[in-house]
Structure 1
Amino acid sequence: MSRTVPLMLELSAADPRPIVKQICDGVRRLIATGELPVGAQLPSVRGLAQQLTINPNTVAKAYGELSSEGWLDSRQGLGLFVAEPRQRYSEAERERRLGLAVQGFAAEVVGLGYPLEVVLDRVGEALAPCLERRSA
C-alpha cells in the first residue's frame, strides 16, 4: 500500500483566484512536474484542510474537480491517488482552453512592459519541467 504524499501547496489570500482553484492548479502543477508521481496517495480531505487551515468542504470540492477531470482516482476505502496520464479533454476543448489561457496571460503581462523575448524565455522556463516529464 502506498504512503500519503504531503502536498506542498501555497495558498494566498492576495491571489484573485478562489482557494479551490489555487488548490486545483497547485495539484495539477505537482502532477505535471512529476513531484506527485502516478499512484501517489494524496492527503485526506480533513488532513489537507488542517494543513492549509481551510474548510474541509473547500478541499473536497477541489479534489472532486480534479477527480472529475481525470487527474485523481478515488479508491473506495483507500483514498485519492494520482491517476495514470490520459487525454483529459477533446481536441476542441483543449484548443478552447489553450486560447483562454493565452488570452488571460497576455492580458496580465502586456501592461508589465517586458520585451517579448523576456516573456517567452520566462514562459519556456516555467513550462520546461512539465514538458520534459511528458516526453520522458
Structure 2
Amino acid sequence: MTSHTPSLYSIATGSAEPIYRQLIEQTRRLVAARVLAPGDVLPSVREVALALAVNPMTVSKAYNMMETEGLLSRSRGIGMLVAERRAHAHSAHEREALLRPTLERAAVEARQLELDPDAVLALFKKILKEQA
C-alpha cells in the first residue's frame, strides 16, 4: 500500500471541464497507467483542496463519484483507496477509451486546419516514436 501526495493532481483552471471531472479523469488515467495500484492511499480531500486551492467540496464530489463507480473505496481510519479491480480492468479497450476524447479533439483541429488525414497520421506516428 503506497500513500500518494496531492502533487499527484494538477488542474487547468481555464478549462471548460469542471475541476471535479479533471480529478476523475486524471485518477482514471493514473489507474490505467498503473501509477496508482489497488490498495494505494489517495491524499485526503483537505490535502488535495489545499494543494490545488480549490473548494474541498469539489474534491469530495470527485472522490464520491469515483467511489460510486467502483474506482475507489473508503477505508475507515485510512481514507480513500484505489479499489481492487477485476483482471480485465486495465485492458487495451479501457485504455483506448481514455485516449479517445483527446484524439477526437485532435481530429477536429486537423479538419479545421484542412490537413490531409494521411499527413496527420504520419505526424502522430512520428510523435509516438519521439516519446519512446
TM-score over 0.5 for the alignment? Answer: yes
Secondary structure of the residue aligned to 2:70 is coil
What's 1:31 paired with? Answer: 31
Alignment of structure 1 residues 1-136 onto 2, 5 Å: 2-7=1-6, 8-86=8-86, 101=101, 106-112=107-113, 113=115, 115-119=120-124
Q: Which amino acid aligns with 1:64?
A: N
Aligned-pair CA distance for 1:105: 5.7
Secondary structure of the residue aligned to 1:115 is helix
Identity of aligned residues (%): 33
Aligned-pair CA distance for 1:63: 0.5
Alpha-carbon separation, structure 2, partners of 1:72 and 1:124: 34
Q: How many correspondences in the alignment?
A: 118
Alpha-carbon displacement from aligned partner over 1:69-126 (angstroms, at most 9, x marks no partner) = 11111112321101122377xxxxx8xx78x847566435532536233346658999
Larger radius of gyration: 2
CA shift in 2, pair 1:122/1:22, >3 Å: farther
Alpha-carbon displacement from aligned partner over 1:8-53 (angstroms, at most 9, x marks no partner) = 2121112221111111111111111111111100011111111111
Q: Which amino acid aligns with 1:55?
A: N
Alpha-carbon separation, structure 2, partners of 1:15 and 1:65: 20
CA shift in 2, pair 1:124/1:109, >3 Å: farther
Q: Which amino acid aligns with 1:118?
A: L
Secondary structure of the residue aligned to 1:42 is coil
Secondary structure of the residue aligned to 2:84 is coil
Tell me if the contact between 2:73 and 2:82 (Cα under 8 Å) persists in the aligned partners: yes
